[in-house]
Amino acid sequence: MNKYESVIIINPSLDEEALKALEEKLKGLIEANGKVEKVTNMGLKKLAYEIKKCKEAYYLVFDYEAEPNSIAEFERILRITDDVLKFIVIRKED
What are the structural domain ranges in the chain?
A: 2-91
pLDDT digits (tens, 9 = 90+) for 29-60: 888 888 999 999 998 999 999 988 989 999 99
User: How is 9-72 classified by DSSP, letter by letter?
Assistant: EE-TT--HHHHHHHHHHHHHHHHHSEEEEEEEEEEEEEEEEEETTEEEEEEEEEEEEE-GGGHH
- Phi/psi at 14 (nearest 5 deg)? -70, 140
CA angle 37, 40, 42 (to 5 degrees): 170
**Is there a contact between 12 and 85 (Cβ–Cβ < 8 Å)?**
no
**Predicted structure pTM score:** 0.88
Whole-number pLDDT of residue 33: 85
Architecture of domain 2-91: 2-Layer Sandwich (3.30)
